[in-house]
Amino acid sequence: MTSPSVLIQNLHTFGLPIYAERVVTAESSEQLVDVWQQAKQQQYPLLLLGEGSNMLFLEDFSGWIVLNRIKGIKISESENFWHLHVGAGENWHQLVRYSLEQNLGGLENLALIPGCAGSAPIQNIGAYGVELKDVCEYVDLLNLDTGDIARIAAQDCQFGYRESIFKHQFREGYSIVSVGLKLAKQWKPVLNYGDLRQLDPQTVTPMQVFDAVCAMRSSKLPDPKVTGNAGSFFKNPIVSAEIAAQILQQFPNAPHYPQIDGQEKLAAGWLIDACQLKGYRIGGAAVHQQQALVLINQDHATSHDVVALASYVRKQVAERFNVWLEPEVRFIGKFGERNAIEVLA
């Protein structure tokens, strides 16, 4: 077998110099099934890719990459809701902007999240008090072996914090082909996070929330077009009340968010920051100065640099706080996805 020869540095937001065997663009379900069958016949692993904004490639990928670029946005209405049927390959932020231009509020808190609309349900994207599950009506899922498309209602998607059924039961052999969103005609602003609290719920418009979210994000998160990154590298850890209490005794100001089952969600960025790791660098990879939860490709980083840095950060936080962070980013090895915790251990 020859070594992979197609450079995919621009197809994932970390911008690492990674090669794959082949890159194919699919604009329909039929094309997706066709490529899947060809790859199977020729015994190549196949990786679906949106915009590569939640990926860490650990090494060159000895398989085919399929970019899902199924397009189209259809809007319909019922008595109380607007319904959007969106092709999986639409860009998420452009969809948010387009919906606001049509005077449909509801997606504004999720502005500027990179990636495709079809990837949004996979980790139930969330920001500034809203998650995809709050606006999702259904997900259309293609079985790549049979060509059948099943409509999964939102209540059956097992949405949780950065979680869904698409990371488990429907992870292999399926592609999301479209997403159905449901936006209430009676718009209610969600203003319970950060600077959004300063807005007046009586007079604020969806576009003003959108602008405020874009301003907050731009001040903290690096633009992947300028500095490679994959957003929050780790998830915010959910810990027992006892562990949270131990941390809070020492640091009463540590951010913490009570969960319904008595556990507490901690801010991973705060934990990393408290270990004085902002700006810490291994090779070309570094902890972002404005947001410690984001690992960046500061200067020609390799996958090895990012893994070494992530592993170091994780161990420092565990030593100091007795909390082991779990990566949010998906790790991709030579033949497909790897268990991120095993890679960092």
- State the catalytic residues: 162, 232, 328
Q: Tell me phi and psi for residue 307, to 5 degrees.
A: -65, -45
Give 105 or 222: the residue with its C-beta nearer to ligand FAD: 222
- Nearest distance, CB of residue 4 and ligand FAD, angstroms: 17
Q: Is 235 in the site for ligand EPU (CB under 6 A)?
A: yes
Q: Site size for ligand EPU, by CB under 6 A?
A: 18
- Nearest distance, CB of residue 163 and ligand FAD, angstroms: 11
53 binds, among ligand FAD, ligand EPU, none (CB under 5 to 8 A by kind): ligand FAD
Interface residue with ligand EPU among 255, 258, 279, 336 (CB under 6 A) is 255
Q: Which residues are 64's β-sheet partners?
A: 22, 46
Q: Is 232 in the site for ligand EPU (CB under 6 A)?
A: yes
Give the closest residue to 122 by CA, choosing from 71, 51, 193.
Answer: 51
Alpha carbons 121 and 159: distance in angstroms, whole number: 8
236 binds, among ligand FAD, ligand EPU, none (CB under 5 to 8 A by kind): ligand EPU
The token pair that represents 190 in the structure block: 């969600």
Q: Which residues ranging from 50 to 79 are in contact with ligand EPU (CB under 6 A)?
A: none
Interface residue with ligand EPU among 273, 302, 333, 337 (CB under 6 A) is 273
Give the closest residue to 292 by CA, choosing from 233, 338, 343, 247.
Answer: 233
One-letter amino acid of 296: I
Q: Which residue has the tokens 């998650």?
A: 131
What does the per-residue mask of binding to ligand EPU show for 275-294, with x meaning CB under 6 A?
----------------xxx-
- Nearest distance, CB of residue 71 and ligand FAD, angstroms: 12
Alpha carbons 130 and 149: distance in angstroms, whole number: 28
- Nearest distance, CB of residue 326 and ligand EPU, angstroms: 10
Which span (57-65, 73-81, 181-189, 228-236) binds ligand EPU, by CB under 6 A?
228-236
269 binds, among ligand EPU, ligand FAD, none (CB under 5 to 8 A by kind): ligand EPU
Residue ranges in contact with ligand FAD by CB under 6 A: 13, 47-55, 68, 88, 113-116, 118-120, 122-123, 125-127, 175-176, 221, 224, 229-231, 330
Give 217 or 304: the residue with its C-beta nearer to ligand EPU: 217
In this chain, which residue has its C-beta nearest to ligand FAD? 50
Side-chain-side CA neighbours of residue 266 (13 Å): 31
Per-residue b/e over 150-175, b at no fewer than 16 CB within 10 Å?
Answer: eebebeebbbeebbbbbbeebeeebb
229 binds, among ligand FAD, ligand EPU, none (CB under 5 to 8 A by kind): ligand FAD
176 binds, among ligand EPU, ligand FAD, none (CB under 5 to 8 A by kind): ligand FAD
Judge whether 255 and 293 are in contact, CB under 8 Å.
no
- Nearest distance, CB of residue 331 and ligand FAD, angstroms: 10
Angle ∠(243,249,252) on CA atoms, nearest 5: 110
- Nearest distance, CB of residue 145 and ligand FAD, angstroms: 14
Alpha carbons 69 and 309: distance in angstroms, whole number: 33
Instruction: Collect contacts of 294-297 with beta carbons under 8 A, ≥24 apart.
Output: 294/221, 294/222, 294/229, 294/231, 294/232, 294/233, 295/229, 295/230, 295/233, 296/222, 296/227, 296/228, 296/229, 297/14, 297/15, 297/16, 297/227, 297/228, 297/229
